[in-house]
Amino acid sequence: MGVADDRFLQMFFEEARELLLSLEEGLMELERRQGDRAHLDKTFRAAHSIKGAAAMVGLGALAEFTHGIEAVLDRIRSGTLAVDSDVISTLLDARDHLSVAVEAEAARSPIPSPVELNRRLTALLRDPAAAPPPPPPAAPAATPKKIELDLPAAEMPAAKPPRKKAERKPRASSRSKKQTPELPLPDFGGTRSPGVDYYRVTLKPGADILKRGVNLLGVLDELRDLGPTRIATEPGLVPTLEEMDPERCYLAWTIEVESNEPRERLDDVFLFIADDSTITIERHSTSEPAVETEVVIEPAPEPAPAKLAPTAAKTPPAAAPFPVEEKPASKPPEIAPPATAPADSGKQPPPRPPVKQAAASPPPPPKVPARIRVDAGQLDDLVGLAGELAVISDNLQGLREVDANQPWVVTLEALDRVSRLIRDTTLELRMVPVEELFSRFPRVVRDLADRFGKEIELRVIGQETRLDRTIVERLSDPMIHLIRNAVDHALETPEERMAAGKPRAGRITLWAGHEGDRVALRIQDDGRGLDRDRIVKRGIARGLVPVGTSVDDPRVDTLIFEPGFSTRDEVSELSGRGVGLDVVRDAVRGLRGSLAVESQPGKGTSFIFRLPLTLALIDGLLVETGGNRYVVPLAQVEECVALNGTNPALSRGRPCVAIRGELVPLVQLRELFHAEGARPSRQELLLTRHAGQRVGVAVDRLLGRVQAVIQALGEGLGNLNRFSGATILGDGSVSLILDLAALVAESRAADNHAH
Amino acid sequence: MGKTILHADDSPSVRRWVAEQLADDELKVVSVADGDLALQAMQQNSFDLLLTDLEMPNLDGLALADAVRRMPEYRFLPILILSSRKPNEIAAERRQPVTGWIVKPIEPDQLRRWIRRSLPS
């Protein structure tokens, strides 16, 4: 692609990113899955595809670097290079560089080729003396040999007088192809343009060339494009009808082309047929008598000619006019196209295995379903519309009760069913297997284990579990955080583990599965477990738990999620837990999920994420305040209690209510939204948790539970944190979705400001 | 005259690039992502030329070429390989069914030329 077209480049970058992931996965597994040919092929293909696509879009440097990776993988494939962890590390490093290089190209600031990495890759390509000879199966006989001859003018084949036809009568089927073809070499006479060089070409195609689908007329046409052409052939080479096999090519041509094009240009013309044809090319200069001759010989022995069917009754398809065709650069219509020679089913070559068998000879790899890339924004729009459709259909269902609408009942029911199906299917489109998330972790674990001198075995279970695309994307960092903690701190060194009677290699298990209507992800290690003594002491010191709290108190575990509970310096060297876990927990809450921990001393720790199946749907409470209706995500509400009209107490200047003996700060939604009118005597209090503390949000009324399709807010409202979106209610009205966490944060900030 | 070629390549960007370079009033390009799909397409429809990558999932380019060549209606079909590998990297007997070999990368003009020349008139 001469001019790098931006569209192809963008497409390439996208594709390369995917292939790089697949290459990384492949490399990670390479050591473990030795001998798994399909896996190796897949890995090789990832590198190969990046190279090919990079070359096509004009990113030559990328292609060249990728070629190194591909070549190493190819050596592994051919068995000349054994896979060990050094090889894998080099390949992984190369992959990483490639990834950086791709992004650099995408940012239009290419980076130089890494000398050291290239050296390492090249080292893997060099043959150690002990290695078995590389077996690339390219048979030497297949490589066309090019011999350049400087023939004196006297020996020019062209100078030989044309022989008489009778001397070379048509024994075409018995002639050895190794011989220079005995072609008629007609003297084309004085028709050449003065001052223009000409080439004299003899072309004797292999007998089976038509069976490869070669269009010989295309070759002749190509020569005609180079300049005025004279073409001669020898129909006497074609055997009689009884002996002739119409699928074989018996003909040979002598061609003169007037052209000043370089010889490479002519070689190029014969590219597809050089392998099984005998071709000579001589350049004749009209100004000087010197002749360069190049002979391209196909030395492969000609297969024994197929037994000719005596009943072959068709006219020879390639009966070309003889001796001379004097029409420069125009196509002779009289020549029947050899490539379309009629196939006579009676004379097919010996029976071959059926196609199906050929296709099935490699073990059938698992079918990958066809996929289409879709713009994420469009998908979200579609989800919104599908939700709306379901709501509209819901509203119409009321019509079924009206007697006059009886004829429409069936249609209404069908509408209801189909619109729900559409909604559910579109929601399903947003789901991706957790595998997309988990597949990054083997690499992370490997790198970390290397760095910290640990031996770790990673197990992954349930990676086919599907989860909302957004969740999968946003969960990556929190999970890596926890995995890093597990490798760095929770798992012991091999020596410590042996001393404790555990297997040498620590184990980390990633597990995904359904728990009710939620998806649970578990990161489990078999390390030393939480150091509860230490955690309790710190908790007491920071006033987070009362003095005298028992080590077995269930609250102890949750302490590690408190903001700033521990600092790296103090705790990581002891328990290894608590470094920024509040950040992890907040990220999970942002996805309407929760994070829990389970731990047994000496046996290990599990972190459990519980997440909604989808972010597009929300289970909510429909509430009313000041005459307006709002949806509150159910996941944010721990409890609802009645709030009777007593005035709230004040604690530290903020309104509070007593809930079962505990003072809970109170946020009045009415006040926050400046609702008019008098507060009803009885309100409802939604209890939520903010920064580890219970907070109550007072609303006027609870209307019920709803399942809502979340619609993004337009730009006008998008900046208001207190609303996380909007939804359409069953009656067609629009309701805003409240984000209790943001509301509480907002109101507390206002409070602090006021006091 | 209207010819149809089938292009098989597992890389979407290569597929798109080839389609954009080749397709015009006289040439229709059908693109598929692997050898199996190519074989299915060849069985269901009629094509004038097959252009295929070598390394593909499910069925690679040479196995595809071999299978296609054995279908009676495609005994003389032009089958071109479009690959970054060179023909001499592949054993001659495996190349038997192949009509021609185009090595990636290739200039659009050259690609068009080879295709045009290989198509039966």
CA A137 from chain centre, in angstroms, equals: 31
Q: What pLDDT, on the 0 to 100 scale, is given for residue A306?
A: 41
CATH number for the segment(s) B3-118: 3.40.50.2300
A3 touches chain B (CB under 8 A): no
A52 touches chain B (CB under 8 A): yes
pLDDT digits (tens, 9 = 90+) for A258-272: 887 777 777 777 777
Residue written as tokens 């984000």? Answer: A739
Q: Determine the distance in angstroms separating the CA of A372 from the nearest CA of chain B, rounded to an integer.
A: 11
Q: How far apart are CA A573 and CA A726, in angstroms?
A: 46
Q: B13 and A341: CB-CB below 8 Å?
A: no
The residue extents of the domains of chain B are: 3-118
Nearest-Å Rg of the Cα atoms of chain A is 40
Of B59, B75, B108, the CB nearest to A343: B75
The residue extents of the domains of chain A are: 6-125, 142-161+177-302+316-330, 376-430, 433-612, 617-754
Q: A136 and B117: CB-CB below 8 Å?
A: no
B99 touches chain A (CB under 8 A): yes
Contacts 24+ apart (CB under 8 A), A563-567: A563/A691, A563/A692, A565/A538, A565/A539, A566/A538
Q: What pLDDT, on the 0 to 100 scale, is given for residue A194?
A: 64
pLDDT digits (tens, 9 = 90+) for B38-62: 988 888 888 999 999 988 888 888 8
Q: Which one, of A702, A718, A714, A710, lies nearest residue A735 by Cα?
A: A710
Q: Determine the distance in angstroms separating the CA of B88 from the nearest CA of chain A, rounded to an integer.
A: 6
Q: A139 and B104: CB-CB below 8 Å?
A: no
Q: A56 and B92: CB-CB below 8 Å?
A: no
Q: What ranges make up the beta strands (E) of chain B?
A: 3-8, 27-32, 49-52, 79-83, 100-103
Tell me phi and psi for residue B33, to 5 degrees: -95, -10
Compute how many other C-beta atoms are within 10 angstroms of the C-beta atom of residue B44: 7
Contacts of B33 in chain A (CB under 8 A): 370
Q: How many residues does chain A have?
A: 755
Compute how many other C-beta atoms are within 10 angstroms of the C-beta atom of residue B113: 16
CA nearest to B79 within chain A: A213
**Start-to-end C-alpha separation, chain A:** 68
Q: What pLDDT, on the 0 to 100 scale, is given for residue B6?
A: 92
Q: B120 and A359: CB-CB below 8 Å?
A: no
Query: Which candidate in A212, A270, A330, A352 is best for mutational testing of the B interface (most B CBs within 10 A)?
Result: A212
B108 touches chain A (CB under 8 A): yes
Q: Which of residues 298-327 of A touch B (CB under 8 A)?
A: 300
Q: A56 and B117: CB-CB below 8 Å?
A: no
CA nearest to A331 within chain B: B121
Q: Determine the distance in angstroms separating the CA of A206 from the nearest CA of chain B, rounded to an integer.
A: 12
B119 touches chain A (CB under 8 A): yes
Contacts of A11 in chain B (CB under 8 A): 12-13, 16
Q: Give the sheet arrangement for strand A639-644, strand by strand.
A: A639-644, A682-690, A693-699, A662-668, A654-659, A649-651
Q: What share of chain B is helix, strand, coil (3-state, %, to 5)?
A: 40, 20, 35
Of B63, B69, B117, the CB nearest to A221: B117
Q: What pLDDT, on the 0 to 100 scale, is given for residue B85?
A: 79
CB–CB contacts below 8 A, A to B:
157
B30 touches chain A (CB under 8 A): no
pLDDT digits (tens, 9 = 90+) for A287-337: 554 444 444 444 444 444 444 444 433 434 333 333 333 444 443 333 333
Q: Which of residues 459-488 of A touch B (CB under 8 A)?
A: none
CA nearest to A209 within chain B: B99
Q: Give the sheet arrangement for strand A617-625, strand by strand.
A: A701-709, A617-625, A628-633, A734-738, A723-728
pLDDT digits (tens, 9 = 90+) for A218-238: 888 888 888 888 888 877 778
Instruction: Flag residues of chain A having pLDDT under 70.
Output: 1-5, 127-195, 286-371, 564-579, 645-648, 651-652, 691-692, 714-720, 748-755
Q: Determine the distance in angstroms separating the CA of B34 from the nearest CA of chain A, rounded to an integer.
A: 11
Which CATH number does the domain A433-612 belong to among 3.40.30.10, 3.30.1360.100, 3.30.565.10, 3.30.450.20? Answer: 3.30.565.10
Q: A212 and B33: CB-CB below 8 Å?
A: no
The 3-state DSSP class for residue A670 equals helix
Q: What pLDDT, on the 0 to 100 scale, is given for residue A333?
A: 38
Question: A308 near A244, Cβ under 8 Å?
Answer: yes
CATH class of A6-125: mainly alpha
Contacts of B101 in chain A (CB under 8 A): 271-272
Q: What pLDDT, on the 0 to 100 scale, is given for residue A368?
A: 54
CA quadruple A258, A261, A264, A268: dihedral positive or negative? negative
Q: How far apart are CA A478 and CA A611, in angstroms?
A: 13
Q: What pLDDT, on the 0 to 100 scale, is given for residue A298?
A: 43
Q: What pLDDT, on the 0 to 100 scale, is given for residue A184?
A: 52
- Does the interface ipTM go beyond 0.85? no
Q: How far apart are CA A518 and CA A465, in angstroms?
A: 11
CA nearest to A346 within chain B: B72
Q: How far apart are CA B48 and CA B39, in angstroms?
A: 14
CATH architecture of A617-754: Beta Barrel (2.40)
Q: What pLDDT, on the 0 to 100 scale, is given for residue A716?
A: 67
With a pLDDT cut of 90, the percent of chain B lying above it is 8
Q: How far apart are CA A27 and CA A31, in angstroms?
A: 8
Q: Determine the distance in angstroms separating the CA of A65 from the nearest CA of chain B, rounded to an integer.
A: 14
Tokens encoding B81: 């390989």
Of B58, B69, B84, the CB nearest to A365: B58
Nearest-Å Rg of the Cα atoms of chain B is 13
